[in-house]
Amino acid sequence: MRNLITASVAVVTLLLGTACSKKDKISDPAAPPAENCTSCGELSGLRPGEKFVTIEANGKKVTLIQSGDRYKLDPDVYLSDRQLAILKGEYKGNEDGRTAGPPTFIQLWPSRTVYYTLHWNLANPQVVEDAIAHWEDRTNLEFVLRTNQPNFIEFKTDENNACWSESLGMKGGLQKVNISAACSVGNAIHEIGHAIGFYHELTRRDRDYYVNINWANIRPDWVSQYQTYLERGIPGFEIGQMDFLSIMMYGSNGGSSAWDPAIPVWTDLNGNTHTRESVLSDGDVQMYNLLYNPPNIQIVQLNKVRVQTPEGRGFQWEDELRITTAFTWPWPLEIAVWVHESNYDGSYYTHYEQYTLQPGQTTQAMGEGWQINGSSGEYSYKRTAATVYQ
C-alpha cells in the first residue's frame, strides 16, 4: 500500500539520552546534588560487570553493552528480548498482525495511554511525578496508575546513580524505568522518552550535516555510541533538522566515552559545544505528535456559499470541501485525495487531486464546485465528499 501522506522534508528526531547529567540547563528544584552522581557523566560509564559485545544485526556488526544476560543499546537503554531478536534477524513472532514485511521495532502505547506504577523503593517519587506532569503538559499523552493492565512501566530504583529505560517504546508486560536519587526531572523526562519510542538525537542518520564528531577523543569501545541508528542496523527515521534543544540530545561532554573529558566529543558545525536540556523541546513534541497523533488529515464539508461567477453566467460554490489537520507540521505535507462529485444529471465521478499543506498551515480549501447557466445549457457539479488516499 502506498502512503501518499508524505513528509517531503525530514523534522525532529528520535533521540538520545544520558544517564545522570550534572548539566541540566535550567534550574531544576528536584535535581539532586551533583555529587550524588559519582559515576555519571554526559554519557554514563558502564555499570559493574557490563562489557561491550559485538553481534551480527541485519548483516551489520553492532556493538551492544552486555549487562548480565541482557543487552543495552546505549548505557541508559535496554533492548527488549523482542527487539534483540529483530536486530539479529531471529524474530519469529507475529503479534503485530502483519502478514508481510518486517516486524515493528518500536511498539507504541495504544491510545496514547501509559500505565505505570511507582515502586516502593523509588528514591524520589516527586521527580517521576514532575516528569510525568511535564509530558502531560506538553503532549496529549496520558499516564494512568496501573490497576491490572498487562503492559505498564514500573518506576523504581534498582540501581543507584543510574537512570535507564528498559525498552525503546512499549516492551509488553512489565518494563522498568530506573530513576535513582541521582536522576533529575530532566533525566526522568528523557527516560520516559525512550519508554515511548524516542532514540537519541545524536544517532540521526543525517547528523553529520549538523555536528562534527571528534572521533580522536572517543575511546574505541565507545565508538558504537556515536554511530547513527542506520549504521547500527536499527530501523528509524527523523524529521526536520537536528534539534539541539531536544531532551534526547547528549551534551558535548563525552563523559566516560572521552579520552579527555575536558575536550568535547562533538560540536556543532560552528564549533560550539552544547549542554543537555531538561525539558521537552518543540521538536520533541512534534516527534511525539508524529508517532502518537498521525497527521490526522480530515476532509470537512462546509456549508456551501453560492456566489455569482465573475462572468455572471451562473454560480459557483466556494470552499465546499476543506482539508484540515489537528496539528501544524514543520514541513510541507503532501496530501492525496479522492474527490467524489455528483453531476447535474445524477451521474457520479471520482478523481484524484493533490494538495500541499505548507508549514504551519492547518486548513486547505479544495476548490469549488460550479454551476453555469450558459447558452450551451445548464451544467453543474457539486463536490459531495472526499477521502484521503493512504
The binding site comprises: 190, 194, 200
Q: Cβ 327 to Zn ion, closest distance in Å? A: 25
- Tell me the closest approach of the beta carbon of residue 267 to Zn ion, in angstroms: 20
Is position 341 annotated as part of the catalytic site? no
Smaller CB separation from Zn ion, 18 or 286: 18
* Identity of the residue, 66 or 384, whose beta carbon is nearer to Zn ion in the bound complex: 66
C-alpha cell at 178: 530506573
The C-alpha cell at 345 is: 444529471
- Per-position x/- string for 174-193, each x denoting binding to Zn ion as judged by CB under 5 A, each - no binding: --------------------
- x/- letters, 118..147, toward Zn ion (CB under 5 A): ------------------------------
Q: Nearest approach, Cβ of 262 to Zn ion (angstroms)?
A: 23
Which residues are bridge partners to 154 per DSSP?
Answer: 117, 176
As a whole number of angstroms, the distance between CA 109 and CA 146 comes to 14
Nearer to Zn ion, 71 or 317 (CB): 71
Choice between 275 and 328, CB closer to Zn ion: 275
For Cα atoms 120, 47, 267, give the angle at the middle one, nearest 5 degrees.
Answer: 110
Q: Where are the alpha helices (DSSP H) in the chain?
A: 81-88, 125-138, 185-196, 282-292
Closest CA to 388 of 359, 361, 364: 364
Gap between the Cα atoms of 334 and 104, Å rounded: 25
Cell of 17: 539520552
Contact region with Zn ion (CB under 5 A), list: 11-19, 47-55, 108-116, 305-313: 11-19
Chain centroid to CA 335: how far?
21
Nearest residue to the partner Zn ion, using Cβ: 17
Question: Which amino acids are annotated as binding site for Zn(2+), given as ranges?
Answer: 190, 194, 200
Residue list 49-108, contact with Zn ion (CB under 5 A): 76
Q: Which is nearer to Zn ion, 202 or 290 (CB)?
A: 202
CB of 89 to Zn ion, least distance (A): 25
Residue among 331, 268, 339 nearest 301 (CA) = 339
C-alpha 56/C-alpha 84 separation (Å) is: 11
In this structure, which amino acid lies at residue 316? Q
CA distance 195 to 109: 9
* 185 φ, ψ (degrees, to nearest 5): -60, -40
Distance (Å, whole) CA 143 – CA 112: 9
Count of H-run helices and E-run strands, the chain: 4, 21
CA 39/CA 26 separation, integer angstroms: 22
Q: Which of 42, 154, 166, 191 is catalytic?
A: 191
What is the helix (H) or strand (E) element at residue 20, kind and residue range? none
Nearer to Zn ion, 76 or 154 (CB): 76
Query: What radius of gyration, in Å, describes the C-alpha atoms of the chain?
Result: 25
Is position 264 an interface residue for Zn ion (rule: CB under 5 A)?
no
What SS3 state is found at 334?
strand
Q: Which is nearer to Zn ion, 253 or 364 (CB)?
A: 253
Taking the complex as a whole, the smallest distance from the CB of residue 264 to Zn ion amounts, in Å, to 19
Residues in contact with Zn ion, shown as a per-residue x/- string from 13 to 42 under the rule CB under 5 A: ----x-------------------------
Residues in the chain: 390
CB of 190 to Zn ion, least distance (A): 6
Query: Minimal distance in Å, beta carbon 165 to Zn ion?
Result: 7
3-state secondary structure of 317: strand
Residues annotated as catalytic are 191
Binding footprint of Zn ion on the chain (CB under 5 A): 17, 76
